[in-house]
């Protein structure tokens, strides 16, 4: 049993067959619970955590706390600042993974009701109780391709997003960290090994971060690779955060862990080519927390071909990515809707797979790393650029492709996005442009009605045309000037 702090554990989602649970696990149900607290004091939080972890009341009702979210990050992360811990608790409360026996409760609803009742009897303010559901890696089809066809197969989609134009400005940077939340990464792959930071990586499904299933390695190669193949970034640091097991599945709680872990590691970008299920408050708050830490979250819209963007892409703080084919048409399988932000190539995408091999895959899973790579290039060009600025640049520079409902702002454009950053534009909102520079008031100057000047830090509008003289400063001449 955990003592003294906070901890996470995991199971994650993937669009593949198979189930890693054993028969004993199948008898267990899992709930995610968040307890509200106004305290940010570390000692107080530890005391509250110990109270939960050692509760006899919970055990008597058949509940067992198997994990405490912040403690999990503290345990797995190299370092974790007090500020980061405080931000997690402020955004999410104290979050726990709670197990119960399905033999004791007829339904998960009954278990939720009893858990809430027990916690309230312990004077705990329950924010929410949710089922620990599952998600899937979006991967509808595969097609083996001869490695000699690598370059022709990659050219069309990199040309579409104008990646070569971006590379003229920046190929990326090893200082730019991209966390791949997936099935792991084959860190021995000849086109990835120099970029994969296994020391910074972590598995939330047991074992190491190596990729057996293949989905994560393919995604990683599209983000950043070298040699015979090229990613959208030609230089980067890839952090493998394994939240999907070798069958490609895992839990909500495990992905929440992975998101916060990646943010704590200082990731510039998180790529989540996964999804499934409905709204989950713990995941939404984890993404919000990562965003508040400066991490840009990119997620796949889903492969159902429906007007319904999947979670986690549908959360406000995630960049939802759809797929287009080589003709710049929305892929039949690509989900769409008002939450869609941008689209990218997602059909017949050639990239790395385990065992020094290559393959083509289809899916919004394949489109998403294109966008993650472009965001990585933006951060490489300007490491200080904010999350909101980066999203604004993506929207402004995207190539129009069709209706906003089906294509969002359009096809991501690496060349124009990087050019926008290198030109010093930090993502100005076209609907709320920055104010132009306002000149200082000067004597011996003719001003027309409507002219705007600055004097002593205040802006003034000229009401009557006149020629100014010393002593006629705007505060002294209200007949000519009014405060803007």
Q: Which residues are tagged catalytic?
A: 182, 215, 365
Task: Using DSSP, state whether 423 is helix, strand or coil.
Answer: coil
CA distance 264 to 267: 7
Residue by residue, DSSP assigns 329-384 as: -B-TT---STT--EEEE-SSEEEEETTTEEEEEESHHHHHHHHHHHHHHHHHH-TT
Q: Are strands 446-447 and 466-467 parallel, antiparallel or unpaired?
A: antiparallel
Residue for token pair 């997620």? 299
d(CA 194, CA 226): 9
Q: How far apart are CA 323 and CA 300, in angstroms?
A: 9
HEC profile for 197-250? Answer: CCCCCEECCCCCCCCCCCHHHHHHHHHECCCCCCCCECEEEEEEEECCCCCCEE
CA distances to 164, 166, 172, 369, 414 from 224, in Å: 14, 14, 9, 9, 14
Q: Which two tokens stand for residue 101?
A: 């026996």
Rounded to whole angstroms, the Cα distance separating 221 from 361 reads 12
201 within 8 A of 260, measured Cβ to Cβ: no
Tokens of 173: 């940077």
* C-alpha distances out from residue 104 to 29, 63, 65, 101, 453, Å: 10, 10, 16, 5, 74
154 C-beta neighbours (distance < 10 Å), count: 20
- Under a CB-based contact definition with an 8 Å cutoff, are residues 299 and 327 in contact? no
Write down the number of H helices and E strands in the chain.
15, 22
Q: What is the largest CA-CA distance in the chain?
A: 90
- In order of 153, 232, 235, 321, 352, the CA distances from 164 in angstroms are 15, 9, 14, 21, 20
E strands within 91-233? Answer: 94-101, 126-131, 134-137, 141-143, 172-182, 202-203
């Amino acid at each position: 049993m955990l003592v003294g702090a906070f901890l996470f554990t995991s199971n994650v989602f993937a669009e593949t067959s198979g189930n890693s649970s054993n028969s004993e696990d199948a008898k267990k149900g899992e709930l995610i619970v968040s307890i509200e607290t106004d305290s940010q004091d570390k000692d107080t939080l530890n005391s509250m955590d110990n109270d939960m972890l050692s509760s006899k009341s919970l055990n008597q009702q058949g509940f067992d706390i198997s994990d405490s979210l912040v403690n999990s990050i503290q345990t797995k992360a190299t370092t974790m600042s007090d500020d980061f811990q405080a931000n997690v608790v402020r955004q999410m409360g104290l979050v726990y993974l709670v197990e119960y026996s399905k033999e004791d409760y007829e339904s998960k609803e009954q278990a939720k009701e009893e858990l809430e009742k027990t916690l309230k009897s312990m004077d705990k303010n329950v924010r929410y109780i949710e089922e620990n559901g599952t998600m899937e890696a979006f991967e509808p089809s595969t097609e083996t391709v001869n490695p000699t066809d690598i370059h022709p197969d990659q050219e069309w989609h990199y040309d579409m997003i104008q990646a070569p134009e971006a590379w003229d400005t920046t190929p990326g940077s090893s200082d730019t960290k991209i966390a791949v939340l997936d099935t792991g990464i084959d860190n021995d792959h000849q086109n990835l090994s120099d970029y994969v930071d296994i020391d910074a990586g972590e598995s939330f499904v047991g074992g190491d971060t190596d990729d057996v299933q293949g989905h994560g390695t393919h995604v990683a190669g599209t983000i950043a690779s070298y040699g015979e193949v090229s990613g959208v970034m030609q230089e980067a640091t890839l952090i493998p955060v394994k939240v999907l097991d070798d069958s490609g599945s895992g839990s909500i709680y495990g992905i929440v862990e992975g998101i916060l872990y990646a943010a704590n590691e200082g990731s510039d970008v998180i790529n989540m080519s996964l999804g499934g299920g409905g709204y989950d408050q713990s995941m939404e708050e984890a993404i919000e927390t990562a965003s508040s830490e400066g991490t840009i979250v990119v997620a796949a819209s889903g492969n159902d071909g429906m007007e319904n963007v999947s979670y986690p892409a549908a959360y406000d703080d995630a960049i939802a990515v759809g797929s287009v084919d080589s003709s710049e048409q929305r892929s039949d399988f690509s989900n769409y809707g008002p939450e869609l932000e941008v689209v990218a190539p997602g059909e017949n995408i050639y990239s790395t797979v385990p065992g020094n091999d290559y393959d083509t895959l289809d899916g919004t899973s394949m489109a998403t790393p294109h966008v993650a790579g472009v965001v990585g290039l933006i951060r490489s060009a300007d490491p200080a650029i904010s999350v909101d600025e980066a999203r604004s640049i993506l929207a402004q520079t995207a190539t129009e492709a069709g209706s906003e409902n089906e294509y969002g702002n359009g096809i991501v454009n690496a060349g124009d996005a990087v050019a926008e950053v290198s030109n010093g534009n930090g993502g100005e909102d076209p609907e709320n442009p920055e104010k132009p520079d306002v000149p200082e008031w000067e004597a011996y100057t003719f001003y027309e009605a409507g002219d705007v000047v600055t004097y002593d830090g205040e802006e003034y509008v000229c009401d009557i045309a006149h020629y100014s003289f010393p002593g006629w400063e705007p505060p002294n001449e209200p007949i000519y000037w009014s405060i803007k």
